[in-house]
Amino acid sequence: MSAHAPTAALADLRAAEYPGLPAGYLNAATHGLAPARTIAALRGALDAWAAGRPDTGGYETAVADARAAFARVTGVPASQVALASTVAGSVGLIAAALPQGAEVVAYQEDFSSLVHPFAARPDLRLRLVPLQDLAAAVRPGTALVAVSAAQSADGRVADLPAIRAAAAEHGARTLLDATQSIGWLPLDAADYDYVVCHGYKWLVSPHGACFLTVRPGAESTLSPAFTGWYGADDPWGSCYGPITDLAPGARRFDARPAYLAYVGAAASLALIAEVGVAAIHAHDLALAERLRAGFTALGYAPVPGPSAIVAVPDVAPDVHQRLTDAGVAFSARAGNLRFAPHFYNTPADVDLALTAAA
């Protein structure tokens, strides 16, 4: 499917991959919905396991396919993609490698998994600033600037070009948490030293499929002390004793993959790559703007976009209940009502939410 797939093509995809999907699921920022191909892949793997024939070779193929598809979606070679287990674990790997006294600049209300690993090291200088001030806060001596590309709480998208420019000017490295952005926001991971992304939201993958990209040259900043046998150049030949040869590039930081999660991720990421992030971006933003306009007409003040995450502050509890009663799936974060339409949603989903909220 073209990266600029028309609405009709997305409608055909929904019919094939999300048959019978009930109206009103607007919660990709909490958990994306798996397409039919992913459910089929997982069921096949579970059936083989139940029959006493777990397909290790098939698992390994799925891991390789998922890595390659994530690389394709983020614009980097597969050699720059490491397998991870959690965002916090990957950020902890980066935090642990910083020298004593290093300065880290981050957004003061960013997601805890991105901020806490640095706060847990009292010997680092962690400076927390407002999101709009992040680029200006980078200064000579700043070692790392860390931010989520899109904020979980309110959907705001960081000024990534300004942050990259400030980091380049002052010799700081960059860390991006893209869990709330990759899958709908076009992003070139090669522009950052490190990008971490868990796939269960906008990449419609199972929990446990997580990725870390490491830009060439940045591998030397991280310690292989956390590497197990899967980070070897020949994993199955390196199961015992010290690893003689680590894998080249980012693969040396691989976490042992949760096989079933990657079986699902391989199928889901293939779909994202086929549709194209550009097409998903246009579709998701159109639905998000429809939501913002509708809530504005109802007298609310949604957090401005452009973002696929729509946050509406100061909504009365009875509105929450009406939305729930109407079958609308949403979430509440940091005092905001949060909606997150994705490529499987239609204007009818948005209108259902607005009708219930009126």
Which CATH number goes with the domain that contains 21?
Answer: 3.90.1150.10
| Residue 45 resides in a domain | no
Give me the pLDDT at residue 5, please. Answer: 45
Which SS3 state, helix, strand or coil, does residue 80 take?
A: helix
Last residue within a domain, chosen from 219, 253, 274 = 274
| Residue 2 resides in a domain | no
The tokens for 176 are 């991006």
Cα distance between residue 225 and residue 165, in whole Å? 32
Cα distance between residue 79 and residue 225, in whole Å? 20
| Residue 41 resides in a domain | no
* Residue 233 and residue 292 in one domain: no
* Residue 14 and residue 141 in one domain: no
Give me the pLDDT at residue 193, please. Answer: 98
* Residue 174 and residue 228 in one domain: yes
Give me the pLDDT at residue 6, please. Answer: 52
Cα distance between residue 218 and residue 213, in whole Å? 10
| Residue 163 resides in a domain | yes
| Residue 38 resides in a domain | no
* Residue 230 and residue 267 in one domain: yes
Give me the pLDDT at residue 247, please. Answer: 94
The position carrying tokens 């005092």 is 335
Assign residue 217 the CATH number of its domain: 3.40.640.10
* Residue 141 and residue 21 in one domain: no
Domain count, the chain: 2
Q: Average pLDDT per run of 10 along the chain, which is 358 residues long?
A: 56 92 96 98 98 97 98 97 96 97 98 98 98 98 98 98 98 98 98 98 98 96 92 94 94 96 98 95 97 97 97 94 96 95 97 97
Give me the pLDDT at residue 10, please. Answer: 87
How is 132-174 classified by DSSP, letter by letter? GGHHHH--TTEEEEEEESB-TTT-PBP-HHHHHHHHHHHT-EE
| Residue 51 resides in a domain | no
* Residue 209 and residue 83 in one domain: yes
* Residue 349 and residue 254 in one domain: no
| C-alpha distances in Å from residue 115, one per residue of 27, 77, 121, 202 | 24, 28, 11, 21
Last residue within a domain, chosen from 274, 300, 328 = 274
* Residue 239 and residue 301 in one domain: no
* Residue 153 and residue 200 in one domain: yes
* Residue 130 and residue 18 in one domain: no
* Residue 177 and residue 320 in one domain: no
- pTM of the model as a whole: 0.95
* Residue 118 and residue 22 in one domain: no
| Residue 49 resides in a domain | no
Pair type for strands 173-177 and 142-148: parallel
Domain that holds residue 13: 7-33+276-357
Q: What is the DSSP letter of 18?
A: S
Cα distance between residue 249 and residue 270, in whole Å? 23
Last residue within a domain, chosen from 228, 252, 274 = 274
| Residue 1 resides in a domain | no
